[in-house]
A and B are shown apart, each in its own frame.
Chain A
Amino acid sequence: MSKNSSFLSILVSIFVVIIAIGRIANWNLEDIQEIVIDILAKSLMTMTAIWLILATSSTSILHRGSAPRLQAITLLFLSLGGLGLVELLNVGVQRATLETITVQWAGLIMGSSIVLFTVLAIVTGREEEEDPLLAIDK
């Protein structure tokens, strides 16, 4: 399969699953504006968190000159900008939102790792060949 068709297949599979779960969650076309704004707000919160994590964790490269300092400050400002954009969307960051999104991020990471490790376990588990050096003892 070519690269383009593989990418297209991945997009199609994502859309199929999203539509299926959206139907389960009773999403309607009339509420599409509200859904899009919510998704936008969540993506801005994610961006804010990622820029904050990158800005604070870049302390490990600060000894390399002035560029990493400028980089950390820029990322901090981007992070603040992300928070401002969330406020502009009239959604706001409330305490309950942060708790919920933290659990949802953890769920996303753990769900992804379950699928990834399943593939690895099955792909490697089928290879039953033995190390010839270990077989010498027999």
Chain B
Amino acid sequence: MTFWLLLYGGIPGVLAMHLQRKETKTYKIATPMTVLVLAGMAGTANMIGSDNNVGPVETAEALLHLVIPTGIYLIGSCLAIFGGPSPVGAIPKNWRRGGSILMIIAIGWVIMLSLQPENLPIETAVMNNVAISSLLIAIALVGAVGTTVVLSIGEKRWLAAIATISLSVGSIALLAILASEISEEIGDSLKSIIGTIFGIIIALWIAFHTTILIEKRSDLPKTTTPITDEEVKLVKHHLDANIRGDKIE
């Protein structure tokens, strides 16, 4: 439990500390706190496979297996987005085709990871079934929503609609092929994703309204003192000099 508290509580906390202004005390203790949190995570992540054969290390392994194809896909799509005739930043000119090839390689990797993970150059992760089922369900759901949104906008973006519906249908087809082996993981991932979507909406709604309720009833921070007579005189003097053209004494 300590590991997960540090992951979901400690990491956002120290990241926020690093965002403080440099002169604050919180910023000064940010780096030692980060070291402490990371050390705590390293110290509590040693329970490899002690419970149901999964632990933090197996989770990290599954995440790494997901990051490889997703990372390749995102790099490819960034090249396809920004590598046109007028490239952005350091991206070379006319790299759209290279980006598209990377995207296709990543899709191939995901298909291999789903159907024949043992044939990939890296060892199959212990939690591969959970990782791949949740990835495919997310693509299927968001792809279907994306298609509806693209068609609703109505600017005849047929190619985008075809791509999103293909991703969605392709993912459902892969899940159907895998159903005989991992139907339990698919069901569990589907429940988690539905629950997560509801959870995010309700949690943010409650947090937003709690913030409004607290901020409404609190006093405004005293950051400034009321303007003095001398300051009024000075402002008037500057206005006279700059707007009316009076000479400054």
Contacts and interface: CB of A to CB of B under 8 A. Distances in A.
B84 A128 contact: yes
Chain B at the A interface: mostly helix, strand, loop or mixed? helix
B189 A107 contact: yes
A98 B3 CA distance: 10
Given A18-B141, A71-B211, A122-B159, A110 B196 contact: no
Given A50-B203, A107-B135, A100 B191 contact: no
A17 B145 CA distance: 9
B131 A107 contact: yes
A24 B19 contact: no
A36 B41 CA distance: 33
Given A22-B190, A25-B183, A56 B55 contact: no
Size bracket of the B interface: 35 or more
A31 to B, nearest CB: 9
A24 B131 contact: no
Interface in A1-31: 1, 5-6, 9-10, 12-14, 16-18, 20-22, 24-27
Contacts of A109: 138
A92 B203 CA distance: 19
A111 B8 CA distance: 21
Interface string A54-89: 111111101111110011001100100000000000
Contacts of B78: 117
Interface string B51-92: 110111011001100110010011011101100111000000
Interface string A96-112: 10111111111111111
Contacts of A120: 77, 81
21 contacts: A14-B145, A17-B144, A21-B186, A22-B190, A39-B198, A40-B195, A46-B203, A47-B203, A50-B203, A65-B218, A98-B1, A99-B56, A102-B7, A103-B131, A107-B135, A111-B136, A114-B139, A115-B139, A116-B142, A118-B164, A130-B86
Please give me the 10 A-B residue pairs with the lowest Cβ-Cβ distance, nearest first: A111-B138, A46-B199, A42-B195, A107-B134, A25-B187, A56-B13, A131-B86, A43-B199, A117-B77, A67-B218
Interface of A: 1, 5-6, 9-10, 12-14, 16-18, 20-22, 24-27, 35, 38-47, 49-60, 62-67, 70-71, 74-75, 78, 93-96, 98-131, 134
